[in-house]
Chains A and B, each alone.
Chain A
Amino acid sequence: MYSIRAINISKRFGNVVAVDEVSFDVKKGEIFGFLGPNGAGKTTTIRMLTGVLVPDSGDVEIEGIDMLNNSIDAKMRIGVIPEIGNVYVDLSPRQNLALAGKFYGLPKADIEKRSDEILASLGLKERKNDPVRTFSKGMRQRVSIACAILHEPDLLFLDEPTEGLDVQSRRMIVDTINGLNARGSTIFLTTHNIEEANRLCGRVGIINKGRMVALDSPEKLKRTFDKTRSIEISFDRDAKCEVFESDNVSKITVFGDKIRLYTNDPDGTIKEVVDKARKEDLKIVSMNVCGPSLEEAFVKLTEAV
């Protein structure tokens, strides 16, 4: 049984094809990541899936309901945190939640009970009656999430939910996503944070220039590009990159206090690094062998089209 079925959906704005015959399914209970560079068609796709936009062609089914012909019933089953999905800043979190609950036809008593529970779990209990305009970005996003999950949706869409948030808010949101999923909700997540998608998602779809270029589990996508590995080392003091150049090493990059050596022969490279560190009197603080990351797979896939 599928939560989402997108069948050859397309959307054009003037001469620009924003989404071009995209098809995919998301199974019930899955956390599905939807990735793509800016302007790739992620938000347009999400808007079509959530009934905000009507596709020029193709079909969308949400929880087995045809979104195009029965959009209200389909929308009753979903919660949406849009990319620019601010809540009403003139209202308090409780008033925002009351409005959201009324849109979904929830009884007043249920709205009040659920609002208190959700606001407490999102760390907003003490501020539940304050106007949202006095809140930080992270707190506003938490109110936005509370509005989207108040009616316990079968399927939750999140468009860049952690973008630009502090660590505490990000963690709270990730915990909420995991908690909802554990209780049976399907999650459809778009994010620029590849590592977040890697950690959270069972499968990811990658869209570029309006077309789906990959659809698989993060591990399988990484293995698609499993040709180069890297060794990440940090020393007790600055080390010159040139010292580690060798036939085994194809590229050297520096980030922060670490040096990353790209190689097809991790074993030989590690031995060379240890020898050179000893000769240079460098103390190794840490050393990791890394496989190709989802980020690398993402970059290669989105460069390829």
Chain B
Amino acid sequence: MSMSAFLRGMLVVTEKNVRIYYLKAPIIIFGLMFPLFMFLAFYLGRDLELSLFLPGFLAMALFFTASSVGPLITPWEKNAGTYERLLSFPVSINTVIMGDVVSGAIYGLLITLVVIVPMLFVIDLTANALLFPIIFVAGSLCFASLGVLLASPSVKSPPNIMMFSSLVRFPLIFISGVFIPLNELQGIGRYLSYLSPLTYLVDAFNFGTSSKNVFPIWIDIIVLIAVTLVFILVSGKFHKKNMMKGL
């Protein structure tokens, strides 16, 4: 397949997802309401310094929003009977997957920008401001790919896959330095945090906001990119395997 055909297909799939899925209830609930309520539950009524928890909060917002689009699309399309038509257009399954990843990433970026822009007036985020765009893009692509991977069981029922995706996503926020700063994690918690890609996004945001990072920033970015590639490759395999399920 030529690169132009791939890019064209990917952009049209992205446009389709933006038009149809961004305002669907499950994405609003699992992508916006959940992280907001988690933040409020943790922050309100406690004497916490916002700047200390901002990296974790930003990472959680990006994590939830970017990963909320992918799980919905394929089950929704199978349920609505649009998936086979989509595959009959001049696209490959890889093109569809990349379109889904990009639409999840854009959603994550947009919502997180809405969160971060007001904070710029309250908190000084200029320590490593130039790296922020790279961290945002790497993080949003990583968790959008996780969202697409979570859709790969390819069941026909969107609620089932959203529950499954919550089952995977929720534990990650407790082992990734969102609520307990990474440098305060001890013992098994610390080792578990190394396994979560969200840890590296939290750490990258720590670097971006205060330079109080645990890993070198280049490690954080490389891990996020590597995990993104692994998620996309594994998604490709599973989506191909389960393509006909639920049609």
Stretch from A49-57, A117-125, A269-277, A297-305 that touches the partner: A49-57
Write the nearest CB–CB distance from A95 to chain B, whole angstroms: 7
Asked whether, in the complex, the Cβ of A53 is within 8 Å of the Cβ of B16, the reply is no
Stretch from B43-51, B88-96, B161-169, B179-187 that touches the partner: B88-96
Closest 10 CB pairs of A and B: A86-B81, A80-B88, A75-B90, A103-B89, A84-B81, A82-B84, A85-B85, A102-B12, A52-B87, A72-B90
Contacts of A80 in B (CB 8 A): 85, 88
Asked whether, in the complex, the Cβ of A105 is within 8 Å of the Cβ of B88, the reply is no
Q: Closest residue to B21 on the A side, CB-wise?
A: A90
Within A269-301, the residues touching B (CB, 8 Å) are none
Asked whether, in the complex, the Cβ of A84 is within 8 Å of the Cβ of B89, the reply is no
A187 to B244, CA, bound (A): 25
- B15 close to chain A: CB less than 8 A: yes
A73 to B2, CA, bound (A): 10
Within B1-43, the residues touching A (CB, 8 Å) are 1-2, 5, 8-9, 12, 15-16, 19-20
Write the nearest CB–CB distance from B9 to chain A, whole angstroms: 7
A281 to B89, CA, bound (A): 64
Contact digits for A61-92, partner B, Cβ 8 Å, 1 yes 0 no: 00000000001110110101011111111110
A89 to B82, CA, bound (A): 9
Contacts of A99 in B (CB 8 A): 12, 15-16
A221 to B16, CA, bound (A): 45
- A35 close to chain B: CB less than 8 A: no
- B247 close to chain A: CB less than 8 A: yes
Select the residue from B15, B20, B80, B85 with max chain A CB neighbours within 10 A.
B85
Q: Closest residue to B95 on the A side, CB-wise?
A: A72
Contact digits for B220-247, partner A, Cβ 8 Å, 1 yes 0 no: 0000000000000000000000011001
Write the nearest CB–CB distance from B229 to chain A, whole angstroms: 23
A–B Cβ pairs within 8 angstroms, 29 of them: A47-B84, A50-B88, A52-B84, A52-B87, A52-B88, A53-B244, A71-B92, A72-B2, A72-B91, A75-B89, A78-B88, A85-B82, A85-B84, A85-B85, A86-B80, A86-B82, A86-B85, A87-B82, A87-B85, A88-B82, A89-B80, A90-B19, A90-B20, A100-B89, A102-B8, A103-B8, A103-B89, A104-B90, A144-B85
Contact digits for A140-183, partner B, Cβ 8 Å, 1 yes 0 no: 00001001000000000000000000000000000000000000
Contact digits for B82-116, partner A, Cβ 8 Å, 1 yes 0 no: 10110111111000000000000000000000000
A35 to B65, CA, bound (A): 47
Contacts of A73 in B (CB 8 A): 90
Asked whether, in the complex, the Cβ of B5 is within 8 Å of the Cβ of A72, the reply is yes
Partner of B8, one of A89, A91, A105, A144: A105
Number of residues from B at the complex interface, CB < 8 A = 24
A102 to B18, CA, bound (A): 15
Q: Which residues of B contact A (CB under 8 A)?
A: 1-2, 5, 8-9, 12, 15-16, 19-20, 80-82, 84-85, 87-92, 243-244, 247
Asked whether, in the complex, the Cβ of A82 is within 8 Å of the Cβ of B16, the reply is no
Write the nearest CB–CB distance from B8 to chain A, whole angstroms: 6
A115 to B9, CA, bound (A): 20
Write the nearest CB–CB distance from B132 to chain A, whole angstroms: 32
Asked whether, in the complex, the Cβ of A72 is within 8 Å of the Cβ of B80, the reply is no
A91 to B88, CA, bound (A): 19
Asked whether, in the complex, the Cβ of B12 is within 8 Å of the Cβ of A85, the reply is no
Write the nearest CB–CB distance from A299 to chain B, whole angstroms: 28
Partner of A82, one of B20, B85, B243: B85
A75 to B8, CA, bound (A): 14
Partner of B9, one of A84, A100, A103: A103
Write the nearest CB–CB distance from A42 to chain B, whole angstroms: 14
Asked whether, in the complex, the Cβ of A72 is within 8 Å of the Cβ of B244, the reply is no
A75 to B89, CA, bound (A): 7
A264 to B85, CA, bound (A): 49
Contacts of B81 in A (CB 8 A): 84-86
A147 to B19, CA, bound (A): 17
Q: Closest residue to A99 on the B side, CB-wise?
A: B16
Contacts of A53 in B (CB 8 A): 243-244
Asked whether, in the complex, the Cβ of A75 is within 8 Å of the Cβ of B88, the reply is yes
Asked whether, in the complex, the Cβ of A91 is within 8 Å of the Cβ of B82, the reply is no
A258 to B90, CA, bound (A): 50
A104 to B244, CA, bound (A): 23
Contacts of A86 in B (CB 8 A): 80-82, 85
Partner of A103, one of B84, B90, B92, B244: B90
Q: Closest residue to B86 on the A side, CB-wise?
A: A103
Asked whether, in the complex, the Cβ of B85 is within 8 Å of the Cβ of A76, the reply is no
Asked whether, in the complex, the Cβ of B88 is within 8 Å of the Cβ of A82, the reply is yes
Q: Closest residue to B20 on the A side, CB-wise?
A: A90
Q: Closest residue to A80 on the B side, CB-wise?
A: B88
Contacts of B88 in A (CB 8 A): 50-52, 75, 78, 80, 82, 85
